[in-house]
Amino acid sequence: MAIPNPSERLERFGYLFGSPIAHSLSPLFHQTVYDALGLKWSQFPLESTDMNGFLELIQDPKFYGASVTMPHKVAILGFLDELTEEARDVGACNTIFLREKDGKRVYVGTNTDTIGVRDSFYATVKDPEKVFHHRPGMVIGGGGAARSAVYALQRWMHCSPIYIVNRDRSEVDAVISECQKRGLRQDLIHVSTLEQAEELEGPGAIVSCIPNFPPKSPEEKVAREVTECFLNKPHKGAMLEMCYHPSPWTEIGVLAEKSGWTVILGTEAMIYQGLEQDRYWTGRSREKLPLETVKKVIGEKISGGNH
């Protein structure tokens, strides 16, 4: 494990812990925030699968918290002192922050991906009551991001039922089983055929949590047909495309836009979840964090040759 060497000039530092992380915008994002606030802080990328080494590093008195990404989002849960409701119910942690209790440091895990999903919809959609409240929600995919999306759609965005569209039935079964075990509502529906999709009411909010590649296998082709069926229904809502690497302009995003949907780029969710992390780490309210500055910096970074 290549251990970053926090400079003497820094007052506090954190880590981005995961592998691979070479393309992550997290260190740039958080440095932009700290510079705007005048803080002598930095987040260091720690590309590693060495959990014990990481747990040792975060004992440093200057450590303020960490972003946790794959493959550690689930494994880290067992090493933390406390979990927020979001981390507990999603079953994954992407953020570690510190509390103090009885003079001791308490390491707390939360999941700000859920906030990223929620806030990107509410920041973009002017009339959520008309667009997605009290309508079905839909998630494309079956991994960790899909679990965060289910949580946000159910807990905060008033969507019911939630359709799950994915090429792999076993992944969907796992998502439904885990969500129900953690007390999320029982209205999760695996939509696995075009005939089933044709019979269902159209969703108002869709979160796409899959990589951007054309469907090749029979299962992938069916999942794409099901997705297009929902996009072509009369009600047009908003779709968040979580994939933004190597480009936020994806095939599914183009299909949604052509069908009359509002498309929200994945960088929006990344920005809102990142600001929520900095709220925990700096103690500043969201209103005092530099939203427009980070939007400009991330936008420029993403559009550098991608569109």
Q: Which of 107, 215, 236 is nearest to 167 (CA)?
A: 215
Confidence at 305, pLDDT banded by 50, 70, 90? very low
**Which of the listed residues 111, 140, 160 is the one where a domain comes to its end?**
111
Percent of the chain with pLDDT strictly greater than 90:
79
Q: Residue 111's pLDDT is what?
A: 97
Q: What is the pLDDT of residues 121-139, one digit of tens each?
A: 999 999 999 999 999 999 9
| Residues contacting 31, CB < 8 A, separation 6+ | 42, 43
Low-confidence winner among 15-19, 87-91, 208-212, 301-305 (lowest mean pLDDT): 301-305
> Which pTM does this prediction carry?
0.92
- Name the β-bridge partners of 295: none
Residues 63 and 174 in one domain: no
Q: Residue 7's pLDDT is what?
A: 65
Please give the torsion angle defined by the CA atoms of residues 264, 42, 77 and 210, in that order, rounded to the nearest 10 degrees.
30
CB neighbours (10 Å) of residue 249? 17
**How many Cα neighbours within 13 Å face the side chain of 267?**
20
Strand ranges inside the chain, DSSP E: 12-18, 41-47, 63-68, 82-83, 95-101, 104-110, 137-140, 162-165, 188-190, 205-208, 238-241, 262-265
Residue 235's domain spans which residues? 114-265
Confidence at 5, pLDDT banded by 50, 70, 90? low
- How many independent structural domains does the chain possess? 2
Q: How far apart are CA 135 and CA 203, in angstroms?
A: 6
Confidence at 307, pLDDT banded by 50, 70, 90? very low
Q: What is the pLDDT of residues 158-175, one digit of tens each?
A: 999 999 999 999 999 988
Residues 83 and 27 in one domain: yes
Cβ–Cβ under 8 Å, residues 14 and 66: yes
Q: How far apart are CA 219 and CA 53, in angstroms?
A: 40
Compute the radius of gyration of the chain from its Cα atoms. Answer: 20
CATH of the domain at 69: 3.40.50.10860
Q: What is the SS3 assignment for 247?
A: coil
Residues 138 and 98 in one domain: no
Residues 127 and 158 in one domain: yes
Backbone angle region of 163, left / alpha / beta, with phi > 0 → left and psi within -120 to 50 → alpha: beta
With vertex at residue 71, the alpha carbon angle to CA 191 and CA 276, rounded to the nearest 5 degrees, is 80
- The one-character DSSP state at 203 is P
- CA 192 vs. chain centroid, Å, equals 24
What mean pLDDT do residues 55-67 have? 96
Residues 80 and 127 in one domain: no
Q: How far apart are CA 20 and CA 11, in angstroms?
A: 27
Residues 17 and 143 in one domain: no
Cβ–Cβ under 8 Å, residues 92 and 77: yes
| Residues contacting 169, CB < 8 A, separation 6+ | 190, 192
Q: Residue 179's pLDDT is what?
A: 83
Residues 64 and 126 in one domain: no
CATH of the domain at 231: 3.40.50.720
What mean pLDDT do residues 3-9 have? 67
Residues 151 and 171 in one domain: yes
Mean pLDDT of the chain: 92
